[in-house]
Amino acid sequence: MRPVCKGEIPYKEIRQYGDAEPYLEERIGAYCSYCEMPIKHVPEVEHIESRSKGGALTEWDNLLLACKYCNTRKSNLVAKGEKENYLWSDEDDTFHPYSYSNGIAQINEEYLKSTDSDYAEHARKLFELVKLGNVPNERNKDRRFFWRNEAYNDAVDSKEGWIKVRETKQKSVFLKNMIIAAKNSGFFSTWMEVFKDDEEVKRALIDEFNGTRKEIFEE
């Protein structure tokens, strides 16, 4: 899950929480803050602590962007005061506790062994909250799995091409186009996983996906 930086509060006051949408989109890109799917329609402004359970309605700290699938699953499960029981992509390291090998979202158990137990528990709770690892069946309309898989295949294909050109003059044009493709297909962490041994591509992904919290990726 891509860790994001929303920056300082961009407004003095907004009347409706939906008015935060353009600010969020400009700062962190039109991607779901949970599953990382690109959102082609207007993204839904998501309340971290549910507005029906006392969460602040228009407070910048309580807002993220979400796709319909994550927003629906999260529903009103996080009440006011319960935020601290989970990790959040705008505050915590939400990149390392999950893995996306073969385009499938999973808990990174190996990593969580090295962290403190609260952090590990909060990471698991977030994963469960939005059902990040959901694999849909026939009746299940959840498209996140499908689109992540497409992004995974795009990344694998791109990597094959990249390996052929990275020692040649076409390298920089190829890299530029590859990043455009990545931003179109979304699923930042899946691309990062496919290129996990390639510092140059990872650096470009981190730099070019707007609002990615860079310090999470520094040693």
Q: Using CB under 5 A as the criterion, which residues of the chain lie in contact with Zn ion when the complex forms?
A: 32, 34-35, 67, 70
Task: Give, for 172, the enclosing helix (H) or strand (E).
Answer: helix 171-185
CB of 65 to Zn ion, least distance (A): 9
Residue 162 or 191: the one with the smaller Cβ distance to Zn ion is 191
Bridge partner residues of 176 (DSSP):
none
Spatial separation of the C-alpha atoms in residues 78 and 209, rounded to whole Å: 28
CB of 96 to Zn ion, least distance (A): 19
CB of 181 to Zn ion, least distance (A): 20
Residue 20 or 67: the one with the smaller Cβ distance to Zn ion is 67
Residue 67 or 129: the one with the smaller Cβ distance to Zn ion is 67
CB of 36 to Zn ion, least distance (A): 7
Residue 73 or 162: the one with the smaller Cβ distance to Zn ion is 73
Residue 89 or 158: the one with the smaller Cβ distance to Zn ion is 89
DSSP 3-61: -B---S---S--SSGGGGHHHHHHHH-SB-TTT--B--SPPEEEESS-GGGT--SS-GG
**Residue 199 CB neighbour total at 10 angstroms:** 9
Listed residue (149, 148, 200, 150) closest to 179, CA to CA: 200
CB of 29 to Zn ion, least distance (A): 13
CB of 123 to Zn ion, least distance (A): 17
Residue 115 or 134: the one with the smaller Cβ distance to Zn ion is 134
Listed residue (201, 214, 125, 116) closest to 165, CA to CA: 201
Cβ distance 174 to 160 under 8 Å?
no
Greatest Cα-to-Cα distance within the chain, rounded to the nearest angstrom: 57
Amino acid letter, residue 91: E
